[in-house]
């Protein structure tokens, strides 16, 4: 039975799952659920994920949603997956859980809160939440500082202090990649104080090549159009009000 991955490549947790499957040679069928077209709300998809979110997986009768849980499950279920992705060592594993829980509470709230509410929702005529975007402007730089000074502390290339990446690295870097939708100036201004973060992004791109770029291609393709639309419609000044360290 082939694994089915329900995903939208514009969605950061979807991209993390897709890159993980590809880099590990997991045989799967990708089924696109376009979130901006609200395909996650069809009764058929709700049977798969009652939360109406991507990604989700189905393998025979088994269904699972939540990208972190999916990555852990796939790392354990597929024998070809190298140990560094989700180490058997209980302490290394616990550290991955710690990074991933932090990701959902901080980095994701910051990055998604900002990009969705100031760019994607207004450009697509969907309701945005100004309170969430104000909160994101405070949380995002704080999260990037913590990533730089705490999670990437030390000499290791990746989040566990390793020379090889884990599921946490893929998950967090896909979150940050959506910031490419900001204008080039805002992107540079936001990320440039974080040298270790920038190097870590490059290291993960290299460690997961060619799949990283392949899966992010739609995002890079849309980036130009989104940036142009933002300028012509003056949708927002996403960097405005962002509070650095
Ligand atoms: N915590 C979930 C987040 C999933 C999520 O928020 N997915 C978004 C796309 S990035 C979605 O499907 N949103 C649909 C909606 O809000 O209607 C995970 O890690 O899988």
40 lines ligand 1 (CB under 6 A): yes
Average pLDDT over residues 180-203: 92
Q: State yes or no: pLDDT of 184 exceeds 80.
A: yes
Mutating to test ligand 1, I would choose from 6, 10, 11, 66 the residue with most ligand atoms within 8 A of its C-beta, which is 11
The residue contributing the CA closest to ligand 1 atom 14 is 53
Higher pLDDT, 180 or 1: 180
pLDDT of residue 209: 98
The residue contributing the CA closest to ligand 1 atom 1 is 66
Please report the DSSP string for 190-207 in residue order. HHTT-HHHHHHHHHHHHH
Domain locations along the chain: 3-81, 90-233
Euclidean distance between CA atoms 204 and 60, whole angstroms: 32
The residue among 226, 229, 215 whose CA lies nearest residue 8 is 215
Of ligand 1's atoms, which has the minimum distance to the CA of residue 12? 10
pLDDT of residue 245: 44
218 CA to middle of ligand 1, Å?
18
The residue contributing the CA closest to ligand 1 atom 19 is 67
Euclidean distance between CA atoms 149 and 147, whole angstroms: 6
The residue contributing the CA closest to ligand 1 atom 10 is 11
39 lines ligand 1 (CB under 6 A): no
> Residue 233: which pLDDT band, with cuts at 50, 70 and 90?
low
> Residue 123: which pLDDT band, with cuts at 50, 70 and 90?
confident
The residue contributing the CA closest to ligand 1 atom 5 is 53
pLDDT of residue 125: 87
Please state the pTM of the whole predicted model: 0.93
The residue among 156, 222, 155, 164 whose CA lies nearest residue 23 is 164
pLDDT of residue 234: 54
The residue contributing the CA closest to ligand 1 atom 9 is 11
Highest mean pLDDT among 15-19, 114-118, 134-138: 15-19
Using one digit for the tens of pLDDT, what is the confidence trace for 219-230?
Answer: 888 888 887 777
92 CA to middle of ligand 1, Å?
27
66 lines ligand 1 (CB under 6 A): yes
Higher pLDDT, 245 or 54: 54
Instruction: Report the run of H or E that residue 15 belongs to, with start and end.
Output: helix 12-23
178 lines ligand 1 (CB under 6 A): no
Of ligand 1's atoms, which has the minimum distance to the CA of residue 33? 12
90-233: what fold? Glutathione S-transferase Yfyf (Class Pi); Chain A, domain 2 (1.20.1050)
pLDDT of residue 5: 98
Q: State yes or no: pLDDT of 237 exceeds 90.
A: no
Q: State yes or no: pLDDT of 94 exceeds 70.
A: yes
Average pLDDT over residues 3-28: 97
Structure letter (DSSP) for residue 55? -
Mean of pLDDT over the chain: 92
- Secondary-structure breakdown of the chain: helix, strand, coil percentages, each rounded to the nearest 5: 60, 5, 30
111 CA to middle of ligand 1, Å?
13
Using one digit for the tens of pLDDT, what is the confidence trace for 131-179?
Answer: 999 999 999 999 999 999 999 998 889 998 889 999 999 999 999 999 9
Using one digit for the tens of pLDDT, what is the confidence trace for 23-77?
Answer: 999 999 999 999 989 999 999 999 999 999 999 999 999 999 999 999 999 999 9
Indicate the class that CATH gives domain 3-81. Answer: alpha beta
Of ligand 1's atoms, which has the minimum distance to the CA of residue 54? 12
């Amino acid at each position: 039975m082939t694994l089915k991955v329900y995903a939208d490549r514009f969605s950061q947790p979807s991209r993390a799952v897709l890159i993980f499957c590809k880099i590990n040679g997991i045989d799967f069928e990708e089924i696109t659920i376009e979130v901006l077209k609200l395909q996650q709300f069809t009764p058929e998809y709700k049977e798969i994920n009652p939360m109406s979110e991507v990604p989700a997986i189905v393998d025979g009768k088994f269904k699972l949603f939540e990208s972190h849980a999916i990555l852990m499950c796939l790392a354990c279920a597929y024998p070809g997956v190298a140990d560094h992705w989700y180490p058997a060592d209980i302490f290394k594993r616990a550290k991955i859980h710690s990074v991933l829980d932090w990701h959902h509470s901080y980095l994701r709230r910051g990055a998604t809160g900002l990009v969705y509410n100031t760019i994607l929702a207004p450009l697509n005529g969907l309701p945005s939440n100004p309170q969430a975007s104000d909160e994101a402007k405070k949380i995002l730089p704080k999260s990037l500082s913590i990533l730089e000074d705490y999670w990437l502390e030390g000499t290791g290339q990746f989040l566990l202090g390793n020379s090889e990446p884990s599921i946490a690295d893929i998950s967090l870097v896909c979150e940050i990649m959506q910031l490419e939708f900001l204008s080039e100036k805002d992107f540079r201004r936001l990320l440039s104080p974080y040298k270790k973060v920038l190097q870590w992004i490059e290291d993960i791109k290299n460690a997961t090549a060619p799949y990283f770029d392949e899966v992010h291609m739609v995002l890079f393709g849309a980036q130009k159009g989104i940036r142009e639309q933002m300028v012509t419609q003056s949708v927002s000044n996403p960097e405005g009000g962002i509070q650095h360290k």
